[in-house]
Structure 1
Amino acid sequence: MSSTSDATSVTTLDSSNHLYLHPSDHPGMNLVSKSFDGTRFGAWKRAMTIALSAKNKLSFVNGVSTRPNDPFLVPQWQRCNDMVISWILNTLSRGISDSVLYTETAYKLWNELNDRYGQVNGAKLYQLQKSICEISQGSNDTATYFTKIKAIWDELSALNSLPNWSCGVSHVFAKRDEDQRLVQFLTGLNASYDSIQSNILMMKPLPSISAAYAILIQDEKQREIHSTNIFAPESSSMNVTAQTSQFRTENKKVVVCSHYKKYGHTSNKCYRLVGFPKDFKFTKNKRFSANSASHVTELKEQESNGLTSDQIGELLQLLQKSYIEKAGQEDAFNTSKISHANFVGPLSEEATGSW
């Protein structure tokens, strides 16, 4: 009767019991995202400790949970032990996994890995300290640089953990280490952060690393906003310069007609005011060309009726002057469509003063 009750108690374990296995637990689970390949053992050990604690199975690797004396609980304990071994093996690389595959308990497996990779030695400390001295911001932003240097700090902390003294001395040592790390972090920044770096170092007491990081991030955001505001007017001025550069003369002055407000000529050389040259070609003024052609035809007919060539020339000048006066009364937007020079001034020859 008692054996039946013991078996029933095993099958009805409370979820808070370390021998309880959730239905979703299986040997193929990966508790950490990155596998351990022999480097950065401290980071891997920390991640596995958190995951096993969340699964309520940390007692299997720290030696608290041992094989029970109750024969009815032994199978359940063995199941949990094998499950923890499978979870650990899933996070190891192929070579390391094969070397510890036949370990009987999760506690022995954990200790073997700790003895092999977790022992503090001079070479490891030298490597980490050298990385701290050589690291700098370079082309990285503040967030990327801080992430890299903090990963090295965490690994150093895992190797050299301070004892938990109840007298408060541990807080003094912790503050000293934090101040040293703050100086290391500020030393690796680029030269553009010299002013904000000096302001942080002048604070009494020195701020925490998190507070200093927040100050640097705020300063970085303000620089981005300031650079954006400066860029906008500079680009606008470049556009204006590009638009007006084609109307500049050799004296680097913008030439504008004071009468018609057009670029490219002055009022004393405006064709509409002083008259068009005889060899000027109206390539796009269809109406003017057609009217001129018709008047020339009429004048030729009148020449055949007895007009001399001088009289015909005077009539042509009068016709040209009448067309100029009529065109000067039209709207500037309509006249701008007549030709590239708008019939207001000369072509590129006038801008250079060639005629």
Structure 2
Amino acid sequence: MSDDEEKPNMEETRLKMSKNVTLAVKLNGMNYPLWKRLMRVDIVGRRANRYITGTPQPPEPGMKGYTEWEEADMTVFSWIIDNVETEIVVDFAHHQTAQALWESLQTTFESTADPYLLYDLEENAGRIEQGEHGLETYWRHLHGIWVEIDRCQHQPVDCCDEGISQLRTYVATRRLFKFLTGLNARYDGIRRDILKETPLPSAETAYGLVKQEATRLKIMPAADIDLQTGAINDGSSSGQVGHGFAVRNQPPPRPKQPPPRIAAQQPNRQGGFKPDKSKFWCSHCGKQRHTRDTCFLLVGFPEWWDENQKAKARLAIGVEDGGGLFLQGAGNREMTNTRGRAGDTSPQPGGGGRPGDAAFAEKK
């Protein structure tokens, strides 16, 4: 057996013993360009490209070496079909060879020179901006759209090498401008520097420069100047270092005032809580901490109120003289008889006092 005959047999044996191919994505009908690229890389990398291209010509059935070729071809067929979604597999599993399966998938899912697809890709490329995305994510999305555009459109210039070169320069300049206009405002400095270069760099070169600037900004943040105080804020985490000399002349910040205290409520005899009486005022006796409705001089003293406390209450609003009580107030003295009923607030004749000045108490 010659060396030429042994070489295919050795490759076919190696293919049968090789491991299965598992791609990062499976063909779902919408990702064919990416899937085709990844699938072809694995097939060519295993030296099995001839099973999907048909070059060289495979042996005819019944000829010598056909059985070995068919076994290797079914191995490549399984690599492809294992990386296709289940709902698509049922429509393509009837093919007999890996080449027939490969060409059928290409015919079904590959779009070339589709004006609607090109329109959609160009529109997406024009709308895309960095926004909240990272620099790498923005570049990856934009560059992926450009790859799709190049794959879908025909070469419009084929007259000469100079015309093709000029077209490529024009397209590269447009893509550079698109990449720069979509960047966030924090890259204004490097954007101006790139536009000053002559000749203009490619979009790929500009991305490398912007990525270098992004790394520098992470390590050495740009300083911001406070226009009101003149202090320089360099983004330091402490908030005290790097703010310039103006910070030294600034008065220290005022400490935060504690919240006003709420008067504590004391439990009463029934186990509940008393309301805050500091703002109560009685219109009858003129005293605080109670109202007219609860004034003992009107409603009567409770049983637990002893005689000493009653006397203190009388002395608090006047002095006792004989059978009546003389109230002191504004130079007038009014005598009232307190032997009557509790709650009798009518003044006696000859008083002359103002309403509300009289107070009644039971004579001790």
Contact map agreement 1:128 1:156 (CA 8 A) in 2: yes
Structure 1 or 2: more helix by fraction: 1
Output aligned runs, 1:331-346, within 5 Å: none
Q: How far has the Cα of 1:162 moved from its partner?
A: 4.3
> Which residue of the other structure, out of 36, 50, 56, is the alignment partner of 1:45?
36
Q: Tell me the residue number matched to 1:92.
A: 84
User: CA RMSD, aligned part only?
Assistant: 3.5
**Amino acid of the structure 2 residue aligned with 1:100:** F
Q: Which residue of 1 aligns with 2:147?
A: 154
Structure 2 matches for 1:16-27, cutoff 5 A? 19-22=12-15, 24-26=17-19
Q: In the alignment, what sits opposite 2:180? A: 186
Q: Aligned to 1:66, what secondary structure does the other structure show? A: coil
Q: Of residues 116, 130, 148 in structure 1, which corresponds to 2:123?
A: 130
C-alpha separation between the residues in 2 aligned to 1:157 and 1:21? 37
Could you tell me which of 78, 83, 86 is aligned with 2:70? 78
Question: Is this contact kept in 2: 1:32–1:47, CA < 8 A?
Answer: yes
State the shift of 1:101 in Å: 0.4
Identity of aligned residues (%): 22
1:232 aligns with 2:236: yes
Q: In 1, are the aligned partners of 2:43 and 2:49 still within 8 Å (CA)? A: yes
2:16·2:75 contact (CA, 8 Å) conserved in 1? no
Distance 1:100 1:164, change over 3 A: farther
Aligned mates of 1:245, 1:156 — CA distance in 2: 59
In terms of Rg, which structure is larger? 2
| 3-state SS of paired residue (1:146) | helix
Distance, in Å, in 2 between the alignment partners of 1:83 and 1:161 is: 35
* Partner residue, 2:96: 104
Report Cα offsets for 1:129-185 as digits up to 9, x if no partner: 221111110011211110111111122222236499796344443333222221221
Pairwise CA distance, 1:32: 2.1
Task: Give per-residue Cα distances to partners, 1:273-310, cap 9 Å, x unaligned.
Answer: xxxxxxxxxxxxxxxxxxxxxxxxxxxxxxxxxxxxxx
Matched, 1:205 2:209: no
What pairs with 1:8-23 in structure 2 (closer than 5 Å)?
Answer: 12-13=6-7, 19-22=12-15
Residue type matched to 1:61 in 2?
A: I
Which residue identity lines up with residue 130 of structure 1 in the other structure?
Answer: E
Higher relative contact order, chain-length normalized (CA < 8 Å, sep 6+):
1
Letter in 2 for 1:81: D
Deviations 1:51-99 (A, max 9, x none): 1111111122123143314712111111121111111111111111111
Would you say the 8 A contact 1:132–1:152 is kept in 2?
yes
Structure-2 change in CA distance of 1:244 and 1:180 (3 Å): closer
Equivalent residue, structure 1, for 2:137: 144
3-state SS, counterpart of residue 235 of structure 2: helix
Which structure 1 residue ranges, 5 or more long, are not aligned? 249-355
8 A Cα contact 1:196 1:216, kept in partner: yes
- The aligned residue for residue 216 of structure 1 is 210
Deviates more, 1:227-236 or 1:76-85: 227-236
With over 3 angstroms needed to count, the CA separation of the structure-2 counterparts of 1:234 and 1:204, relative to structure 1, is same
- Aligned partners of 1:88 and 1:181: how far apart in 2? 35
Alpha-carbon distance in structure 1 between the residues aligned to 2:104 and 2:193: 49
Separation of aligned partners in 2, 1:208 and 1:226: 27
Match of 1:13, SS? helix
On the 8 A contact 2:180/2:191 being kept in 1, the answer is yes
For residues 289-335 of structure 1, the C-alpha deviation after alignment (integer angstroms, 9 at most, x for no partner) is: xxxxxxxxxxxxxxxxxxxxxxxxxxxxxxxxxxxxxxxxxxxxxxx
Q: Equivalents in 2 of 1:163, 1:63: separation in Å?
A: 31
Give the letter for the 1:53 counterpart.
V
Shift in alpha-carbon separation, 1:128–1:225, aligned structure 2, 3 A:
same
Q: 1:124 corresponds to which letter in structure 2? A: L
What secondary structure, in the 3-state scheme, does the structure 2 residue paired with 1:177 have? helix
Cα pair distance change 1:45/1:124, threshold 3 Å: same
The 2-side partners of 1:211 and 1:9 are apart by: 47
| TM norm structure 2 | 0.57
- Cα distance, 1:34 vs structure 2: 0.8
8 Å CA contact 1:43–1:155 kept in 2: the answer is no
DSSP 3-state at the match of 2:240: helix
Write the letter of the residue equivalent to 2:152. Answer: L
Cα deviation code 1:194-244 (max 9, x no counterpart):
332232123221102221011111222222233288233861269999x95
TM-score (norm 1): 0.58
Alignment of 1:230-269 (within 5 A): 230-232=234-236, 235-236=239-240, 245=253
- 1:31–1:48: 8 Å Cα contact kept in structure 2? no
Shifted more, 77-86 versus 119-128: the winner is 119-128
